[in-house]
Amino acid sequence: MEAAVARGETIYGVNTGFGKLAHVRIPPEQARQLQLNLIRSHASGVGEPLPPDAVRAMMLLRANVLVRGTSGVRPVLPELLVDMLNRKLHPTVPSQGSVGASGDLAPLSHLALAMIGEGDVKVPSPITLEAKEGLAFVNGTQAQTGLAALLVADAWMLWRSAHAAAAMSLEAVRGSPDPFDARIHDARPHPWQQRSAALLRDLLADSEIRESHRDNDPRVQDAYSLRCTPQVLGAVGEGLAFAERLVTTELNAATDNPLVFGNDVLSGGNFHGQPIALALDVIGIALTTLAGLAERRLERVVNPDLSSGLPAFLAHDPGLESGFMIAQIAAAALVADCRVLATPASVQSVPTEGNQEDVVPMGMTAAWKAGRILANAERIVAIELLAGAQGLEYLKPLRPAKAVARLQAAVRQESAALTGDRPLTADIEKVAARIREGRFAS
């Protein structure tokens, strides 16, 4: 980079202005001021701060990009980021203000402020940015990619927990595990559908409840929310796997501009966040599908017209008590919220920078939506787990499958069986927190 500047080459963001101002030539003696001005001006994010894990993810990923050797920066930049991570120095980074087109300019600029000694945390050795180093730091998708990576991990945990809830609900309403027979799913060999059916077979093996009514069950087929769980959750798994593939590639990609390859400095567009914005939208759509399926199974457990003999709303004294009536309403409200939020952000381009950035992906908006959908879906699955555990109480002394019995016991560690009406908010939140920790990941 220094050699290219010495040769007098015109290099975007090194001796020119930015965006629409790229035609303005900057003299060499102002190169440092240009980079400093870039960080100060672009640190204009708004809204609630990103959580610490998201900021740490962004820091780690930005360091990972800089050490690839295509950014044209000194080693001191990634070294300082690693030092900040080890010291747990996390600057405040607003969550809004990025369209994800020239990368996450505002979030990364707030991070860079701390590195130059102007942020809200004090670093041991602030740096002075040399030519291109400010631009190299803020050009990239690491805010949205860090959030996406965390969401993928949590979404897989929820996917497995949703199978646990499905198995418990099926046992509670005395449904049939026959639709999960491997031969059915081998005849339509979508890989994640096959994995979903296998999970359910393992969870439902050796059930006393099933054996008690195998020969005299008048139902020929269960409703779709029970019978088609592998087909629906399998499709959700395919969506999550697609998103994971895009995110995994992006984790190790060079995403700034221009890029340095030997003696060549090339301008391109690897900072454009469309792949990650699309991945985040797919995560949101997939988890909304999962949430809607869980709410429909929940309805079958609490509705006396659908629950195969369980008391209305799982109350001990229906009428005097309401049991899980409002918990199901809460789940319905959360599903509606998810469906509104599932509208894709990655197609909502609004041109910026004097129409230089005329196609933008809105990746941080997609990340915010997917995060809220995830939290909603975790609570819906938590309500289903609670209701399924309660439904099984009424089938004693029959025992469910051993795996389901273990899941019921795990629920009971967080929430006592309902013996009369009580507020369920704390129970729901505790079980939802355990879902994210992997307690119910089958």
Please tell me the CATH code under which domain 145-437 is placed: 1.20.200.10
The tens digit of pLDDT for each residue in 369-393 reads 999 999 999 999 999 999 999 999 9
Q: Give residue 359's pLDDT.
A: 84
Q: Give residue 303's pLDDT.
A: 97
Share of the chain above pLDDT 70, in %: 99
Could you tell me which CATH class the domain 2-140 is placed in? mainly alpha
User: Which residue's entry shows tokens 């949205």?
Assistant: 144
From the list 4, 8, 9, 12, the catalytic residue is: 12
Q: What mean pLDDT comes out for the span 70-99?
A: 95
Q: What mean pLDDT comes out for the span 259-285?
A: 94
Q: Give residue 218's pLDDT.
A: 67
Q: What mean pLDDT comes out for the span 412-438?
A: 97
Q: Give residue 213's pLDDT.
A: 75
Reply yes or no on whether the pLDDT at 7 is more than 90.
Answer: no
The tens digit of pLDDT for each residue in 143-158 reads 999 999 999 999 999 9
With CA atoms as reference, report the closest residue to 196 among 311, 65, 85, 293: 293
Chain centre to alpha carbon of residue 165: 20
Q: Give, in degrees to the nearest 5, the angle at Cα 402 between 299 and 314.
A: 25
Known catalytic membership, residue 12: yes
Reply yes or no on whether the pLDDT at 217 is more than 90.
Answer: no
Q: Are 283 and 152 spatial neighbours (Cβ–Cβ below 8 Å)?
A: yes
Select, from the ranges 251-260, 342-351, 424-433, the one with the highest average predicted confidence (pLDDT). Answer: 424-433
Q: Where are the domains of the chain?
A: 2-140, 145-437
As beta bridge partners, residue 49 has 94
Reply yes or no on whether the pLDDT at 117 is more than 70.
Answer: yes
CA distances from residue 395 to 180, 310, 407 in whole angstroms, order as listed: 23, 8, 16
